[in-house]
Amino acid sequence: MQENRLAKAEAKLSGRQRVLAWMHRRQQLGGFVETLTRNLETNGASGTAITIEDWDAAFVFECVGYCNIRALELNEAHLEKGLLSLCLSRLLNTSEIPAEEWQIKAFRRALKTFNLKWRLFDRAVQTISDGKGHQGRAAAVRRVQR
């Protein structure tokens, strides 16, 4: 019954709205990894497929997919975080200055890059969401309207 109502509501939505509604629904179901895992476990039976009919919808769908994959890649950096913490702890507990100056500079750079990776992704997602990217959503909409 509810599924029918949802299907009717979905039919009234335009391409991009439909993707956003689908994303919202997926978020309610536990998020990207959760729904994907459930979908695989049930051989596709529990998945809520999305119908993509226009270029704008496909663009938003692909953007979301890429951002989710990038977030998962960054999440897998536990080893990097652990190694940096270990090095930091080692440096905190020694008064011995490394023999080579580049060693501490390289560590500084690694730490800075680790910090930047997260912040850069966060800022990029913000830029895309605000539609401020040079080739952002606004451009995509213009293209579809042409």
Partner 1 sequence: MEKDIKDAQRLCDVFNDDVAPAFRVKPITPEEIEEYLQAAAHREADKITSLARAKAELSFGSRFSACPFVVDAIRLTETPESLRRLLGVVDGQ
SS3 assignment for the chain: CHHHHHHHHHHCCCHHHHHHHHHHHHHHCCCHHHHHHHHHHCCCCCCCCCCCCCHHHHHHHHHHHHHHHHHHHHHCCHHHHHHHHHHHHHHHCCCCCCCCHHHHHHHHHHHHHHHHHHHHHHHHHHHHHHCCCCCCHHHHHHHHHC
**Least gap, CB of 46 to partner 1 (angstroms):** 23
State the nearest-atom distance from the C-beta of 27 to partner 1, in Å: 14
For partner 1, the binding residue among 28, 43, 95, 145 (CB under 8 A) is 95
81: which residues sit within 8 A by CB, 6+ positions away? 114
Question: For partner 1, which is the closer residue by CB, 33 or 124?
Answer: 124
Shortest separation between residue 139's beta carbon and partner 1, angstroms: 8
Q: Kindly tell me which of 26 and 61 has the beta carbon lying closer to partner 1.
A: 61
* 72 binding partner 1? (CB under 8 A): no
Site for partner 1 in 12-51 (CB under 8 A): none
Binding footprint of partner 1, residue count (CB under 8 A): 53
Task: Work out how close the CB of 8 gets to partner 1 at its nearest, in angstroms, rounded to a whole number.
Answer: 26
Rounded CA separation 59/131 (Å): 13
Task: Return residues touching partner 1 (CB under 8 A).
Answer: 52, 55, 58-63, 65-67, 70-71, 74-75, 81, 84-85, 88, 91-92, 95, 97-98, 102, 104-106, 108-109, 111-116, 118-124, 126-128, 132-137, 140
